[in-house]
Amino acid sequence: MRLNHLFLLSALIGALTFFGCGDDDNDEVTLRMQFEHKFGSEDAVYGSVYEIDGIAMRFDLGMFYCSHFTPKDDSGDAITSFTDEYILVRADEPTIHEIGTFNAKSVKGLGFRIGVESSVNHGDPANWTSPHPLSSQSPSMYWGWDNGYIFFKFEGRVDTDEDGEPNAPVLYHIGKDDFFELVDISVNEATVDGVMDVIVTVDYEKLFTNIDFTVDRVNHTNIESLHIATQLAENWPSMFE
């Protein structure tokens, strides 16, 4: 009888140890994101001039919305999803964006969307209190209830007369429910004191892939030039790493 009691006690301790170790594997992680803005290997700075395919381009403005953040494990499966979090990224503001807190053993990937979902897109910025990203912004990131928010805004000037000086405006204001593009990146950052700071590189040079930006210089997601807006939106995922 004594041996049976000892056997049961040992089995109970073993089970508790097993389940306890499983819980310890999942640590509480607070996910934060920072964005580094580039033109190729160079830092993207307002007023600076860069060469894209040998053509001079001045960078004056870069802004975009991100939402629907999904941390992923080493199998690529979603750990959790933050569908009510929105951030407005500005190239001239090196902001640390806190996304949320969750439990995980490890984080190896991160998915997010450029823009906002349809139900939010056609809302009113007046419903959000500043400084919420969806409140009224300067410069504006909202067209009106019909067209909704501008998901991605790029402004600058490009050299069209081949004298090396950017002379003509480039204005890309892109937003549409269909352009709620998914971005997936790998995550290699370690968690320090329960905080994971994911550094995301944004390469604006890749925005212009398959775009004749000396000719198709202005786009406000109009019907007549929707094919250009579509190409710009399709380029977004390749901009991020």
d(CA 197, CA 19): 30
d(CA 133, CA 47): 25
Task: Name the helix (H) or strand (E) containing 54.
Answer: none
Residue-number span of the structural domain to which 163 is assigned: 27-239
Domains in the chain, number: 1
Q: Decide if 164 is inside a domain.
A: yes
Q: Decide if 211 is inside a domain.
A: yes
d(CA 168, CA 41): 24
d(CA 221, CA 209): 17
d(CA 234, CA 241): 15
Task: Measure the N-to-C terminal CA separation of the chain; round to a whole number of Å.
Answer: 64
Q: Decide if 170 is inside a domain.
A: yes
Look at residue 24 in the predicted model and tell me its pLDDT. 52
Q: Decide if 168 is inside a domain.
A: yes
Q: Decide if 54 is inside a domain.
A: yes
Q: Alpha helix (H) ranges present in the chain? A: 2-25, 118-121, 226-239
Q: Decide if 100 is inside a domain.
A: yes
Q: Decide if 3 is inside a domain.
A: no
Averaged over successive runs of 10 residues, the pLDDT of the chain (241 residues) comes to 44 41 71 98 98 97 98 96 98 96 94 98 96 97 94 98 97 97 95 95 98 97 96 98 96
Q: Decide if 184 is inside a domain.
A: yes
Scan for tokens 């990224």, then name that residue: 89
